[in-house]
Amino acid sequence: MSTPVIEVRDVTKVYGQGETVVNALRETNLTVEQGDYVAIMGQSGSGKSTLMNILGCLDVPTDGRYFLDGTDVSGLSERQLSILRNRKIGFIFQSFNLIPRMTALANVELPLAYGGVKAAERRRRARAALDLVGLSERTGHEPNELSGGQQQRVAVARALATAPSLLLADEPTGNLDSKSTLDVLDVLDQLSASGRTIVLITHEDEVAKRSKRVIRLVDGEIVEDRRQ
């Protein structure tokens, strides 16, 4: 059996103390195998952003354990967490987070530069990633010369450049019109078909429909986990 990409065991996350205590997650268990495509849904305050932050190693559980690609994240230092994030996780955010005055190619190269990859290899991998998302003709364009959908596809390419074990997408179509949304979802479908592991947070049924599995959170607990 291959190691699951994500294994969350009895994870609890508590914020504040005394009367202001908030149980953002309660004894949550979740396993995501390689190649799965999971949509996490829930109202505001359901705990989905907390879960996303823990899965992305941006936050640590109050209790319980989280294994990312077999690594127990619980005991890692800030520096170890940041190395793990750079190598194992590709992030896609609602607001693209591209650097203005830098070309699409340079934006995609960034995480590779942080990871210490040499310039020629960086360029090769960034071009390949842009090719994957259908933007090989746009490598020299800056973000303001691209549509919203194209900018988000550059962000997807940047997330892919490090060949991560996990793609984490937080409301990836939240800022897009309907055509751009379809373009980005088509790219995610292709990545899923090629065996990538994708976890996305969304509150849109149309987006969740594309996934292989839907998980619904209410008040910090998983109330539904179904294949589709």
The average pLDDT across 78-96 equals 92
pLDDT of residue 115: 87
The answer on pLDDT for 1 being more than 80 is no
Distance (Å) of CA 108 to CA 22, 86, 142, 185, 191: 38, 13, 12, 19, 17
What's the pLDDT band for 211 if we cut at 50, 70, 90?
Answer: very high
pTM: 0.92
Tell me the C-alpha distance between 11 and 187, whole Å: 32
pLDDT of residue 118: 96
The answer on pLDDT for 72 being more than 90 is yes
Distance (Å) of CA 93 to CA 31, 74, 76, 116, 160: 23, 24, 24, 23, 13
pLDDT of residue 35: 96
Spell out the domains of the chain, with CATH numbers in brackets.
32-44+76-227 (3.40.50.300)
137-155: per-residue pLDDT in tens?
999 999 999 999 999 999 9
- Supply 203's token pair: 């509150």
